[in-house]
Amino acid sequence: MPLNRREFLATSLAAGPTLAGAQTPAKHSFRVSETNFLLDEKPFQIISGSMHYARVPRSCWQDRFRKARALGLNTICTYSFWNAHQPEPARWDFSGNLDVRTFIQMAASEGLHVIFRPGPYACAEWDFGGFPAWLLKDPDIRVRSTDPKFVKPAAAYLQRIGQEVTSLQISQGGPIILCQVENEYGSYGNDAAYKNAIRQALLDAGFDGHSFYTSDGPSLVPRGSFPDLPAVINFGANENTAKQFATLDKIRPSGPRMCGEYWVGWFDHWGETHNGMTVKEVSDGLTWMLSHGVSVNLYMFHGGTSFGFMAGANRDRAYQPDISSYDYDAPLDEAGRPTEKFFAVRDIIQRHAKSAAAPTTLPEPEAVLKIPRFFFNESAPLWSLLAEPRHADSPQSMESIDQSFGLILYRTSIRTAQNGTLEIGEARDYALLYQGGRRLGTLDRRFSQRALEVRLQAGATLDILIDAMGRVNFGKHLTDDRKGLIGEVTLAGAPLKNWAMYSLPLTDLSRLSYSGDPPRGPCFYRARIQLETLGYTFLDLRGWGKGYVWVNGHNLGRYWSVGPQRTMFVPAEWLRPGENELVVLDLLEGGQRSLEGRHNPIYDVANS
């Protein structure tokens, strides 16, 4: 069984990671030379895999670390997400799945070193790239800049995360061998003052500057790096590995060679087909790197799940929200099971790596649960969660009224019957429009939909319900992806005024009152099922519309009939013997109202 935090604190980890079978932790030194990483003054080839503690159930951490060792990894790499640890300006959270200190200690207890990526920017297909949404309440804030309104809270975050982990650096006898400064900054800007500010904030927080490094695309190293720090490069298995390092060689003739993110798969957007990379693509590039003495970090080794509201989005020509699963076509799938890619990678590591961990056996497989189809016989209208609204002449963003996630309802009165074009500056990200319980239509940001022909009756309110999906986590649009109604709402060219705004953060469902008759409109559906045995499962959401799923109060994330994700992963630890409560919010009417638990996920794939 995994050790709890108290047991870890009572265990001496001060001397660093312990290889399997060792009785006493061994002291280590780690530094960078002109050509290599040096562990105990000997060349050390980092063979790492990424796994984000916030995306993996805490009870599974030890199992995943043991599978990392069985793969041949000697290091685990993780991001820390600012918005998870500081969801509100005055509230910090390092409990449960966010207990980063225990995560790092547990990795060490399984013989793994750690690469720590504290941010403050992460990307990682995580909402707002890891920045907390409350930053956006200030309409003028400039993130990833020297703007004091950003740098000051960012430095405070780094100070707080430093309290948890800096004593676990290898310079103090712990497992952390490297600490990243910012993240892929070369893909965003070229502000040396900002980079230096983040570097200094890390030093002020207690991070050892000798462990610092940067990570960028090969051609962007000059923009994102520091002359005196190691620069590692990121690229995909479907790219020419030798060419990527040839580009780095021209920019940085000396220094250790490492792929900081070797993309062995890819992520998915709603409405697109499931992505992946072939075993051959992954194998070819990995073989080249390991046989040339290059260090590598597999991104991802195990992706897990972006539970709740934490899946991010991209925006280039169009807005592209990410699915809840972060399976990533990784060596371990979303449920932590070894894939064909796992065994191919393991063989390559054992044949070609110079610092591969001693091979270990795989842990016993976790139990998987099949749940026969069950029906939802209770329902409650979404509108029953409405509380006191905020009022404004024009619609305000979600962040401006101190809401970070969920839904928001905008309501205004229509005094006279009117027909015409209803236009919205922008609905972020999916809008459902109603009058008197009658749905007028929907607007989908993915397709830049901003206008709808309507016939409005006198004496009834116009309701615009917004489902806020992932905030942009990469690129120039990262800076201002506020949610809700953005800009004016006009009818036949005339602005509609006097709006009531109702926050629906979906964090407390205790006020719902269920009955047996499903109402019209967005609705919660509840079922109670009995379980005698436990295991992980995948809930089959085919036949439902769009919304969210809770199991015993845990938000599994978003589902949407546009695919490609058709199932929702349920960790075994979120189920319990006896009665279990499942709640589904469906924003769309007319779907089926039953579920089953399956052994395997279902995705829409190309040519399926």
Beta bridge partners of 265: none
Count Cβ atoms within 10 A of the Cβ of residue 458 and give its class: 0-12 exposed, 13-18 middle, 19 or more buried.
Answer: exposed
* C-beta neighbour count of 347 within 10 angstroms: 13
Q: Which of 184, 281, 334, 399 is catalytic?
A: 184
In the block, residue with structure tokens 């809401």 = 403
Beta bridge partners of 538: 569, 598
Between the alpha carbon of residue 427 and those of residues 214, 421, 555, the distances in Å are: 37, 15, 24
Beta strand spans in 300-348 (E): 313-315, 319-321
Handedness of CA 445, 448, 453, 456 (dihedral sign): positive
Between the alpha carbon of residue 13 and those of residues 4, 173, 205, the distances in Å are: 14, 8, 21
What gap in Å lies between CA 290 and CA 596, rounded to an integer? 44
261 as an active site residue: the answer is yes
Say if strands 176-180 and 212-216 run parallel, antiparallel, or are unpaired: parallel
Q: Which of 164, 261, 281, 399 is catalytic?
A: 261
On whether the CB atoms of residues 370 and 598 are closer than 8 A, the answer is: yes
What gap in Å lies between CA 569 and CA 601, rounded to an integer? 8
On whether the CB atoms of residues 191 and 223 are closer than 8 A, the answer is: no
Helix (H) or strand (E) holding 322: none
Q: Would you call the peptide bond into 51 cis, given omega within 30 degrees of 0 as the criterion?
A: no
Angle at 186 between CA 182 and CA 191, to 5 degrees: 80
Residue among 346, 256, 337, 306 nearest 49 (CA): 346
Residue among 560, 490, 474 nearest 183 (CA): 474
184 as an active site residue: the answer is yes
In the block, residue with structure tokens 């919205």 = 424
Active-site annotation, residues: 184, 261
